[in-house]
Amino acid sequence: MKIAIDAMGGDFAPLETVLGALEAVRETKHIDVVLVGDETQINKILEDNNEINNPRVTVHHASEVIGMDEHPGQALRKKKDASVVVATALVRSKVCDAVIAPGSTGAAVAAALFGLGRIKGIDRPVIATPMPTVNGITVMLDSGANSNSKPKHLVQGALMGSEYAKLLLGKENPTVGLLNIGEEATKGNEVVLATYPILEKMKTINFKGNVEGRDIPKGAVDVVVCDGFVGNVVLKFAEGLVTSLTQLIKDSIMGGSIFAKIGAMLIKPALKPIAKKLDHTESGGAPLLGVNGVFMISHGSSKAKEIKTAIKIATDLVERKIIEQIRQTVEIEGAVKYEYDE
Amino acid sequence: MKIAIDAMGGDFAPLETVLGALEAVRETKHIDVVLVGDETQINKILEDNNEINNPRVTVHHASEVIGMDEHPGQALRKKKDASVVVATALVRSKVCDAVIAPGSTGAAVAAALFGLGRIKGIDRPVIATPMPTVNGITVMLDSGANSNSKPKHLVQGALMGSEYAKLLLGKENPTVGLLNIGEEATKGNEVVLATYPILEKMKTINFKGNVEGRDIPKGAVDVVVCDGFVGNVVLKFAEGLVTSLTQLIKDSIMGGSIFAKIGAMLIKPALKPIAKKLDHTESGGAPLLGVNGVFMISHGSSKAKEIKTAIKIATDLVERKIIEQIRQTVEIEGAVKYEYDE
Beta-carbon contacts below 8 Å between A and B:
192
B113-145, pLDDT tens digit by residue?
999 999 999 999 999 999 989 888 999 999 999
B291-323, pLDDT tens digit by residue?
999 999 998 888 999 999 999 999 999 999 999
Q: Considering only residues A97 and B264, tell me which one the structure prediction assigns the higher pLDDT.
A: A97
How many whole angstroms separate alpha carbon A275 and alpha carbon A302? 17
Q: In what order do the strands lie in the sheet with A136-141?
A: A129-133, A136-141, A223-225, A175-179, A206-211
Query: Is residue B141 packed enough to be buried (19+ CB in 10 Å), middle (13-18) or exposed (0-12)?
Result: buried
**pLDDT winner (highest mean) among B29-33, B187-191, B266-270:** B29-33
Q: Is the peptide bond before B11 cis (omega within 30 degrees of 0)?
A: no
What pLDDT score was predicted for residue A118?
96
If you average pLDDT over residues A244-265, what whole number do you get?
Answer: 83
Q: Give the dihedral of Cα atoms B90, B94, B98, B102; nearest 10 deg.
A: 10
Inter-chain residue contact A144 with B181, CB threshold 8 Å: yes
A113 contacts A125 by C-beta, under 8 angstroms: yes
Looking at the complex, report in whole angstroms how far the Cα of residue A37 sits from the nearest Cα belonging to chain B: 27
How many whole angstroms separate alpha carbon B175 and alpha carbon B162? 8
If you average pLDDT over residues B67-96, what whole number do you get?
Answer: 93
Q: In what order do the strands lie in the sheet with A126-127?
A: A57-61, A32-37, A2-6, A98-102, A294-298, A286-289, A126-127
The dihedrals phi and psi of B165, each to the nearest 5 degrees, come to: -65, -35
3-state class of B144 per DSSP? coil
What pLDDT score was predicted for residue A307?
96
B229: nearest CA partner in chain A: A181
- What's the Rg (C-alpha) of chain B? 21
Amino acid type, A83: S
B204-224, pLDDT tens digit by residue?
999 999 999 999 999 999 999
Chain B residues touching residue A242 (CB < 8 angstroms): 241, 245
Looking at the complex, report in whole angstroms how far the Cα of residue A230 sits from the nearest Cα belonging to chain B: 6
Residue of B241, B243, B247, B254 to mutate for A, most A C-beta atoms under 10 A = B241
Q: DSSP of A142-168, one letter per residue?
A: -SSS-SS--HHHHHHHHHHHHHHHHHH
Is it the case that residue A36 has pLDDT exceeding 50?
yes
CA B117 vs CA A298, B44, B84, B151: distances in Å: 50, 34, 15, 21
The domains spanning B1-122+290-320 and B126-283 adopt the same CATH topology: yes
CA nearest neighbour of B236 among A222, A231, A208, A180: A180
B185: nearest CA partner in chain A: A71
What pLDDT score was predicted for residue A342?
43
A240: nearest CA partner in chain B: B214
Residue of B104, B148, B214, B239 to mutate for A, most A C-beta atoms under 10 A = B214
Just give the CATH number of A124-282: 3.40.718.10
Ranges of each domain in chain A: 1-122+290-342, 124-282
Looking at the complex, report in whole angstroms how far the Cα of residue A33 sits from the nearest Cα belonging to chain B: 32
Q: What percent of chain B has pLDDT over 70?
A: 96
Q: Across the interface, which of B188, B218, B240 has its CB nearest the CB of A244?
A: B218
Task: Please count the CA atoms within 13 angstroms of the CA of B53 that sit on its side-chain side.
Answer: 1
Inter-chain residue contact B249 with A274, CB threshold 8 Å: yes
Is it the case that residue B183 has pLDDT exceeding 90?
no
Q: Nearest 5°: CA angle at A260, between A255 and A266?
A: 135
Specify the DSSP class assigned to residue A118: B
What pLDDT score was predicted for residue A339?
53
If you average pLDDT over residues B23-38, what whole number do you get?
Answer: 97
Inter-chain residue contact B228 with A181, CB threshold 8 Å: yes
- Its CATH class, for the domain covering A1-122+290-342, is alpha beta
Looking at the complex, report in whole angstroms how far the Cα of residue B253 sits from the nearest Cα belonging to chain A: 6
If you average pLDDT over residues B150-174, what whole number do you get?
Answer: 95
Q: Considering only residues A244 and A49, tell me which one the structure prediction assigns the higher pLDDT.
A: A49
Q: Nearest 5°: CA angle at A115, between A223 and A111?
A: 70
How many whole angstroms separate alpha carbon A39 and alpha carbon A201? 52
pLDDT band at B340 (very low <50, low <70, confident <90, very high): low
A311 contacts A5 by C-beta, under 8 angstroms: yes
pLDDT band at B342 (very low <50, low <70, confident <90, very high): very low
> With respect to CATH, is domain B1-122+290-320 assigned 3.40.50.2300?
no
B136: nearest CA partner in chain A: A248
B134: nearest CA partner in chain A: A244
B191-201, pLDDT tens digit by residue?
999 999 999 99
If you average pLDDT over residues A183-198, what whole number do you get?
Answer: 90
A5 contacts A32 by C-beta, under 8 angstroms: no
Just give the CATH number of B126-283: 3.40.718.10
Biggest alpha carbon distance in chain A?
Answer: 67
3-state class of B32 per DSSP? strand
Is it the case that residue A245 has pLDDT exceeding 50?
yes
